[in-house]
A and B are shown apart, each in its own frame.
Chain A
Amino acid sequence: MTAKIQLIGVKKRFGSKVVLDGVDLTIEKQSSLVIIGGSGTGKSVTIKSILGILRPDEGTILVDGEDVTHIDGSARDRVMRKFGMLFQGGALFDSLPVWENVAFGLIQGHGVPRAKARDIAIQKLAKVGLTQDVAFLSPAELSGGMQKRVGLARAIAADPEIIFFDEPTTGLDPIMADIINDLIVSTVKDVGATALSITHDMISARKISDHIAMLYGGRIIWTGPTGEIDRTGNPYVDQFIHGKAEGPIKMAVKA
């Protein structure tokens, strides 16, 4: 069986700063992988490379065995139809009402008629616990937690095969974070999707993943099942998951 997503030796640098220095990563079908790592270690660059928003300098990215590293235009759109993504800040389109945000991928990417797309959007909003009257509000009228939910509804609207979550719990209170974690677990299971998340919130990472990979120094330094994260024997992983200032990882105070 081919892996859903595979990264082979992916490298990316910005100017003289090397961000990814040969990332190798395999995500099996219908699994949920969480990439953990400190701020600025290239977690976002990794998912943006898979999505084609950034172009890696070297290496190969395979989706369902297809090389998507350098594709563009309509071929890119075709591959993107497999994806859904929840952005850290929501990234909702503030010029459109909530329902149209959720229905956007259906209308633009999949050519679903507007009336039908609106019905689907309202169903998806119900799935993330939002009522019909929210559908006609503007995103600016919603709280942070509600925006996250709308973002989640948008990510799952077109029943994607792969869903990416970028820091899904950052900026939420602990209770709302837990609610979002539960929603992620249930929706991913519901849609039968493969999930890739990036976070530095270990509570969230443990809850939503079945595998964890740790990114450090531009490489994946550890990967394994979530249950084994506490007995890796890897000092870097231990320092990170216990959130200790002392250890092999030195945080650069100055960039």
Chain B
Amino acid sequence: MNVFASIGRAVLTVLAHIGRLALFTGQAVAGIVSPPIYTRLILAQMMRIGYYSLPVVGLTAFFTGGVLALQIYLGGNRFGAEAIVPQVVVLGITRELGPVIAGLMIAGRVSAAIAAEIGTMKVTEQIDALTTLATNPMKYLVVPRIVAAVISMPILTAIGDSIGVLGGYVVSVYSLDFTGYTYLKNTVDFAHREDITSGLIKAAVFGFIVALMGCYNGFNSKGGAQGVGNATTNAVVTSSILILAADYVLTALLFHR
């Protein structure tokens, strides 16, 4: 009997979590489309989420592009296909690695920060204080972060894509035996518009996931410093997993015809 009881409890806990998250998501989306819109806060969050993430996204994209070029060169070498480096780099970066690496970096950097900030506000009653000041915490805290992340992520990813391709270019031209002209020509000729747009759509979804999970875990944190710590960890873990899961689903939806 005990086994069934504990299985039942676990299932109920999971269902309750899913239900709470669904409700939270619904409220957040409803908040996005109804006034008031806090433009000032959205811009401030775009600074924090987007602009200040540029260095980390740029650096990771650069190295990712570089290592991708090197690996494709070495692997392609086995069957005489090393010339395909620029094509594979641009495809891999724009479709997949650009948005995913940016998403994971933002998950670590931004969703942790959001969860810690909102979690601290929660345990120090600042969120209750918002309510007593006739301000809806959902609209004031959650919506600006989600909107800012959804706008910032595609921009970050577009920049990351360019830097990733640049990383591949640098490695190919200065360390392998490509000429700059052929590398760029092959890149530009090969890439289709939908390779890039599909990556940017993914990026927007990842931005939504990161901000949502940061806010959700922050809002549900309880019990002081340890609770805020747990919320931060959960935000990073859940948003990273959801990014990879969503990546698969989106790839299937966008390219499976």
Inter-chain contacts of A52 with B (CB < 8 A): 131
- Interface presence of A42 (CB below 8 A): no
Contact of A108 among B125, B128, B135 (CB under 8 A): B135
How many angstroms between the C-alpha atoms of A48 and B178 in the bound complex?
Answer: 68
Contacting residue for B125 out of A81, A89, A109, CB 8 A: A89
Is the beta-carbon distance between A51 and B136 smaller than 8 angstroms? no
B176 at the interface (CB under 8 A from A): no
Residues on the A chain within 8 Å of B7, using CB: none
Is B129 an interface residue when CB atoms closer than 8 A count as contact? yes
Q: How far is the CA of A84 from the CA of B125 in the complex (A)?
A: 14
User: Can you list 24 A-B pairs with a CB-CB distance of less than 8 A?
Assistant: A51-B128, A53-B128, A73-B136, A76-B131, A76-B136, A77-B136, A80-B134, A81-B134, A83-B132, A84-B132, A85-B129, A87-B125, A89-B124, A91-B124, A91-B125, A93-B121, A94-B126, A104-B133, A104-B135, A105-B133, A108-B134, A109-B133, A109-B134, A109-B135
Q: How far is B128's CA from A52's CA once the two chains are assembled, in angstroms?
A: 10
> When A and B form their complex, which 5 residue pairs have the shortest distance between CB atoms, in order from nearest?
A109-B134, A105-B133, A91-B125, A91-B129, A80-B134
Which residues of B in the span 18-54 have a Cβ within 8 Å of any Cβ on A? none
- Cβ < 8 Å to B, chain A residues 74-125: 76-78, 80-81, 83-85, 87-89, 91-94, 104-105, 108-110
Q: Which of A78, A108, A109, A164 has the most CB of B within 10 A?
A: A108
Query: Chain A's nearest CB lies how many Å from the CB of B251?
Result: 38
Chain A residues within 8 Å of chain B by Cβ, number: 27
Give the contact-size bracket for chain B: 10 to 19
Residues of B within 8 A of A77 (CB): 134-136
Residues from 13 to 59 in A contacting B, C-beta threshold 8 Å: 48, 51-53
Contact with A along B97-127 (1 / 0, CB 8 A): 0000000000000000000000001001110
Residues in chain B within 8 A of chain A (CB atoms): 121, 124-126, 128-129, 131-136, 140
Structural contact, A80 and B140, CB atoms closer than 8 A: no
Say whether, besides A73-B136, A77-B136, A108-B140, A51 and B131 are in contact (CB < 8 Å).
yes
Given the complex of chains A and B, what is the CA–CA distance between A52 and B132 in angstroms?
9
* Chain A residues, CB < 8 A from B132: 51, 80, 83-85, 164
CA A85 – CA B134 in complex, angstroms?
Answer: 11
Q: How far is the CB of A145 from chain B (nearest CB, A)?
A: 18
Task: Give the shortest distance, in Å, between B45 (CB) and chain A (any CB).
Answer: 12
How would you classify the secondary structure of chain A's contact residues: helix, strand, loop or mixed?
mixed
The distance in angstroms between the C-alpha atoms of A152 and B70, with both chains bound, is 63
> In the complex, what residue of chain B is closest to A114 when comparing beta carbons?
B40
Cβ–Cβ contact A48 & B124, under 8 A: no
Q: Which residue of B lies closest to A166 (CB)?
A: B125
Tell me the complex Cα distance, A85–B140, Å.
19
A53 touches B134 (CB 8 A): no
| Contacting pair B126 A93 (CB below 8 A) | yes
Contacts of B125 on A, CB cut-off 8 Å? 87-89, 91
CA distance A10 to B51 in the complex (A): 49
A49 to chain B minimum Cβ distance, whole angstroms, is 12
Nearest residue in B to A106 (C-beta to C-beta)?
A: B133
CA distance A105 to B129 in the complex (A): 10
Which residues of A are found within 8 Å of B124, using beta-carbon distances? 89, 91
**CA of A5 to CA of B34 in the docked complex: distance in angstroms?**
31
B15 to chain A, nearest CB (A): 17
Distance in angstroms from B171 CB to nearest chain A CB is: 42
Assuming the A-B contacts A87-B125, A89-B124, A89-B125, are A105 and B134 also in contact, with contact meaning beta carbons closer than 8 angstroms in the complex?
Answer: yes
Among B121, B126, B133, which residue has its beta carbon within 8 angstroms of that of A80?
Answer: B133
Inside 8 A of A110's CB, which chain B residues have their CB?
134
Chain A nearest Cβ from B39, distance in angstroms: 13
B20 CB to closest chain A CB (Å) equals 15
CB pair A87–B129 under 8 Å, yes or no, is: yes
A80–B129 contact, CB under 8 A?
A: no
Nearest CB to that of B44 among chain A residues?
A95
Alpha-carbon distance between A51 and B129 when the two chains are bound, in angstroms: 10
Query: Which residues on the B side are within 8 Å of A73 (C-beta)?
Result: 136
Task: Tell me, rounded to whole Å, the shortest Cβ–Cβ distance linking A114 to chain B.
Answer: 10
> Which among B121, B131, B140 is the interface contact of A53 at CB below 8 angstroms?
B131
Cα–Cα distance between A108 and B140 once the two chains are bound (Å): 9
Q: Chain B contacts of A104 at CB under 8 A?
A: 133, 135
State A83–B134 Cα separation when bound (angstroms). 8
- What residues of A have a CB within 8 angstroms of the CB of B134 in the complex? 77-78, 80-81, 105, 108-110
**Given the interface contacts A73-B136, A77-B136, A108-B140, does A91 sit within 8 Å of B128 by beta carbon?**
yes
Write the A161-188 contact mask toward B (1 if CB under 8 angstroms, else 0): 0001000000000000000000000000
